[in-house]
Chains A and B, each alone.
Chain A
Amino acid sequence: MRILLAEDERTISRLIKQVLANAGHEVVGVQSAAEAVAHLESSAFDLVLLDLNLADGDGMRVVTALENHVGPTPPVVLMTGEGALDQDDPRVRRVARVLPKPFELDELEALVQLFVA
């Protein structure tokens, strides 16, 4: 599976990439919402792992960009330490799954496995 990982915390990003690469996935890592949007516009992905608080702003910008995307859009898994998300926000409803931080590697792997076709 080809996965876009948007996470600005370098250690978390490296660890997730390592774990998912070991599981046979191709992972493209970016650190900002702008980079994530650019990658989604120019390339196809099967899944997006998205941190809510990216260095250049709200990760939800990426969800907004996907809403305006022409063609098939990959499911989004939101990684967040926020206790509760605003369920009235239509962008939150666009998110396929939420992975609360801190999470276990097993949880991450099981979640990604759900999206393997």
Chain B
Amino acid sequence: MEGRTDREEAEIYRREAMGAFAHEVRTPLTSIKMVMELARRQSSDGQLVLDGELAEMLRTSVDDLQQLADELQETSRLERGKVALSSGPSELGAAIEAAAELVAPLTLDSSGPMGYEGPWDAPRLVRAVAGFAQSANRIGDGSGRVRLDVQPEGQAVVLTFTSGRRAGEPKAMAADAGFSFFRSRQLVLAMGGSVHCERADRFATFRVVLPLRREGEEQ
């Protein structure tokens, strides 16, 4: 997104996030519609009947819908600076390990030094790492395997998520990255970091910079 102001870039990301949300909300909606129709069919007189199994399916789908709504709300509040994040310290290695468990069966192959502690909100860092891994796979080669390289860079640590092989000239854009990408990006920005995304045909790489110290804190 070279040449664009931060405001223009934020607006592009916001539009993409809304589109991604509209897409992802369709999955629990599909379940709810199907459960309601099955329940109606099970009734002989046209009344709605929910047996135990259908009721459980409905509950799960409503929970998924609730979670998506909560994530949208949190993303919006983060953008407006209305969420107070914990400033840690938390361990990067533990966060990556927890995120890898969260995204299974997708495999997160991590490499590089992991022994960093930083001023990061631990549970949100886990969700951010998981979200980037899922999104990289989604807009990369879709192989179910994402590489994560960790390297120090000055007063920060850089996490590079990569899916697929670089071919041709990648573009700096995150269209179709899914709602989890935008939520993860917002979390990293709120932690004082930055995110850069490049993608090409069946290739995606996210460069996520996490500060090792709070703003104004001396070494």
Contacts and interface: CB of A to CB of B under 8 A. Distances in A.
B29 interface: yes
B92 interface: no
B34 interface: yes
B57 A14 contact: yes
Contacts of B60: 10-11
B16 to A, nearest CB: 13
A56 B144 contact: yes
Q: Which one of A14, A31, A33, A104 has the highest number of Cβ atoms from chain B below 10 Å of its Cβ?
A: A14
A12 B64 CA distance: 12
Given A12-B31, A15-B31, A19-B38, A101 B144 contact: no
Contact of A57 (B35, B41, B141): B141
B33 to A, nearest CB: 5
A56 B163 CA distance: 12
Contacts of B141: 57-58
A34 B143 CA distance: 9
Interface stretch (B2-10, B20-28, B113-121): B20-28
Contact of A15 (B38, B137, B143): B38
Contacts of B41: 105
- Chain A CB within 10 A, most for which of B30, B32, B38: B30
For the residues of B in contact with A, the DSSP-based class is helix
Contacts of B105: 31-32, 55-56
A33 B142 contact: yes
B181 to A, nearest CB: 13
B61 interface: yes
Given A15-B34, A56-B144, A57-B144, A101 B27 contact: yes
A40 B161 CA distance: 31
Contacts of B27: 9, 12, 81, 101
B198 to A, nearest CB: 18
Contacts of A61: 142-143
B157 to A, nearest CB: 27
A81 B144 contact: no
Given A15-B31, A105-B37, A55 B106 contact: yes
Nearest to A57: B142
Contacts of B33: 102-104
B138 interface: yes
Contact of B138 (A18, A33, A53): A53
A114 to B, nearest CB: 19
9 contacts: A9-B30, A9-B31, A18-B38, A56-B142, A57-B138, A58-B142, A102-B26, A102-B29, A102-B33
Interface of B: 19, 22-24, 26-27, 29-35, 37-38, 41, 57, 60-61, 105-106, 137-138, 141-144
Interface of A: 9-12, 14-16, 18-19, 31-34, 53, 55-58, 60-61, 81-83, 101-106
- 3 shortest interchain CB distances as A-B pairs: A58-B142, A56-B144, A57-B142
